[in-house]
Structure 1
Amino acid sequence: MDERMIQAAQTGDINLLYELILNDPYVLQRIDDVPFFHTPVHVAAFAGHIEFMMEMIKLKPTFARKLNQAGFSPMHLALQNDRTHAVLRLLRFDEGLVRVKGREDLTPLHHVVQTGNVDLLIKLLAVCPEAIEDVTVRDLAVKNDMFEAFQVLVGWLIRSRHGAAQRWEKELLSWADIDGNTVLHIAAIRHRPRVYANFPNQVNY
């Protein structure tokens, strides 16, 4: 990517962006033609330059879902650098971005569960409830000792009016990791009785 384009994204300079487009109308198309690329949207999302990020997405909507060479989308990078406002703005553009699978099939929701950011987890589920289907026992909060995040997931399922919520709750109990352990198995191994409290009818599961 052109050094001046990187500079524009790093500093959030929209005027420079359009100067570059004026000089080369195909500058963004050449970036888009590369299957995996660290686009100006990746740079701006990581830096938290929201206006530049959204201006770029307006010009090239495909950049919002493109993975860079490391296997991360712009939302992944925004989360990694604690750019919550950038994450929420991306969600306003496309709620499905929270389900974009990066390296090892990890989505932005996985990242939020693993870091235990409960407030953001609640916001992501409110915007895109279907994203809970992407969570597996491998990254469940029980395994990472993020019990508050786990309780949010379970509580959301119990209270949710989404048509598939009951199905998701049952599936949550049956998800197994590569060793065949379910959520309750892991809770028993780690002596975490609070997890059982979320499933009073499943203690003998």
Structure 2
Amino acid sequence: MNQRLYAAACKGDVEALLELLREDPLILFTATLSTSDTPLHIAALLGHNEFAKLAMTHNPKLSTEFNRYGYSPIHVASLKGHLQIVKDLLNIDEELCVLRDNCEGRTALHCAAIKGRIDVILHLLSCRPESARELTFKGETILHLVVKNRQGVQIMKPLISILGELNLVEDHINCVDEDGNTVLHLATYTNQYQIIKVLLRDTNVNVNTVIADGYNASAISEMNNNASSSEFDNKNTIGEMIKQAQSLQRGGSSDQAHGVLITTTNANSGRNEEQIVDVVNSHGAAATAKAILNLPGGIDREQLQSNPMHITADQLNKVRSFLVFDAGCFFISVTTIFVVTTLPYIPSVYWLHFNLLAAGAVIGSAGLLFQNVLVLATNDHLADVAIKGGLVSSVSTIVVAIIVRLLISKKFWSVIGKACSKRRDLNT
């Protein structure tokens, strides 16, 4: 680069640039031949607004040149937080919003997020809201970069608010990078308490997402020895917050976890609710077993066992239906107890597989025990019919409950809507 041009760019000397342009109108074009840092890069780095505007006016193609670090001028201006230069560059070409650098595949928005330049972020999103969907070569969103570079809650909170206004929060909050990490995983790894608090309180972040190593956020917090949050004047640990939200998401919709209050009282309340469910279902399982001893319709158990031919077909059908539904209720009660007491505390996908095997063993053993009770209380035929019918009815009930849960889930309909949109796009 011409030494006089370099000196003018470093100083932001507009008059010197005008003089050079009078001497050589092509000086801004030839400047890119000998060095990777153009005068526009230097002006963007140092914040010389007027110089940068004049340079890009005389040679707009300077805005798409990359320096030795792989950055274009808008990347440099976004990293440094020079808003006016960013505005002037976008006035020339709004497509610069989605221009990627040559190293990490970052856009200007990614660069602004790395340094926490919230005013630059606001302007970039106002020009091209869809630019927020761009990912780096490592699959990172702007939220990933905010957490990785520890920009703190003062950037994360307004950024989530902005994305919410643009209906883009769902696209970001549960997005995983190339390592399978969501924003929550990264914040948990680095014990960023305030970030985690905002994510759990203000978004529908999925606390049960498992990364490639087989760990969810709760397991990561345990590996970090449940780092205390006392320095933030809060007695709860990160692990307790995540487990509380995890329990809510296991027990209901993700909307229940949205807006979760991070307090000890609420955590105890969640555990009390689990205990109530356990007690109710335990009584339900016991009641189904006790009901066998008191068959409906005035039927005598001893007569049913010793001389079943004296029982009418109508009475037999009633007994059969009663026993099938009784067995179904028993299986549902046992399954519910197991789910409530174990699933909220599963730290990884490997433990999930182990618990599923254990669930099969427990429920199978309970079924055999219940069948033996039925044989003693009635006869072999009715016991077999009741167990088979009970299993079918309980599985059918669980499947219907899952389908209903999906149908009322916003995320389910969001996925369906995106699929339909893609199909329409392909057809057109």
TM range (shorter): 0.7 to 0.9
Q: Could you list the runs of 5+ residues in structure 1 that have no partner in the other structure?
A: none
> 1:132: which partner in 2?
132
Aligned pair partner of 1:199 in 199, 203, 211: 203
Q: Are the equivalent residues in 1 in contact too, given 2:2–2:31 (CA < 8 A)? A: no
Q: Could you list the runs of 5+ residues in structure 2 that have no partner in the other structure?
A: 210-428
User: How many Å separate the matches in 2 of 1:83 and 1:153?
Assistant: 19
> 1:64: which partner in 2?
63
Across the aligned residues of Structure 1 and Structure 2, the Cα RMSD in angstroms comes to 2.8
In structure 2, the CA distance between the partners of 1:63 and 1:153, relative to structure 1 (3 Å rule), is: same
Per-residue deviation at 1:202? Answer: 4.2
Task: Confirm or deny that 1:14 pairs with 2:2.
Answer: no
TM-score (norm: length of structure 2) = 0.41
Query: 1:29-178 residue pairs with structure 2 within 5 A?
Result: 29-32=29-32, 37-102=36-101, 103-135=103-135, 136-137=140-141, 139-145=144-150, 146-160=152-166, 165=167, 168-178=168-178
Q: Is the partner of 1:142 in helix, strand or coil?
A: helix
Give the length in aligned residue pairs. Answer: 198
Q: Are the equivalent residues in 2 in contact too, given 1:98–1:108 (CA < 8 A)? A: yes
Matching residue's letter, 1:109: L
Per-residue deviation at 1:104? Answer: 1.6
User: How many Å separate the matches in 1 of 2:18 and 2:69?
Assistant: 28
Per-residue deviation at 1:126? Answer: 1.6
Q: Are the equivalent residues in 2 in contact too, given 1:142–1:186 (CA < 8 A)? A: yes
User: How many Å separate the matches in 2 of 1:67 and 1:121?
Assistant: 21
Per-residue deviation at 1:57? Answer: 0.8
Q: Is the partner of 2:178 in helix, strand or coil?
A: coil
Q: Is the partner of 1:105 in helix, strand or coil?
A: coil
Higher normalized helix content (fraction of residues): 2
Q: Which range is displaced more, 77-86 or 56-65? A: 77-86
> 2:376: which partner in 1?
none
User: How many Å separate the matches in 2 of 1:58 and 1:137?
Assistant: 32
TM-score (norm: length of structure 1) = 0.78
In structure 2, the CA distance between the partners of 1:187 and 1:22, relative to structure 1 (3 Å rule), is: closer
Deviations 1:78-120 (A, max 9, x none): 3444433333333333333333222322222112212223333
User: How many Å separate the matches in 2 of 1:7 and 1:116?
Assistant: 30
Q: Is the partner of 2:87 in helix, strand or coil?
A: helix
Per-residue deviation at 1:33? Answer: 5.1
In structure 2, the CA distance between the partners of 1:117 and 1:41, relative to structure 1 (3 Å rule), is: closer
Task: Confirm or deny that 1:23 pairs with 2:23.
Answer: yes
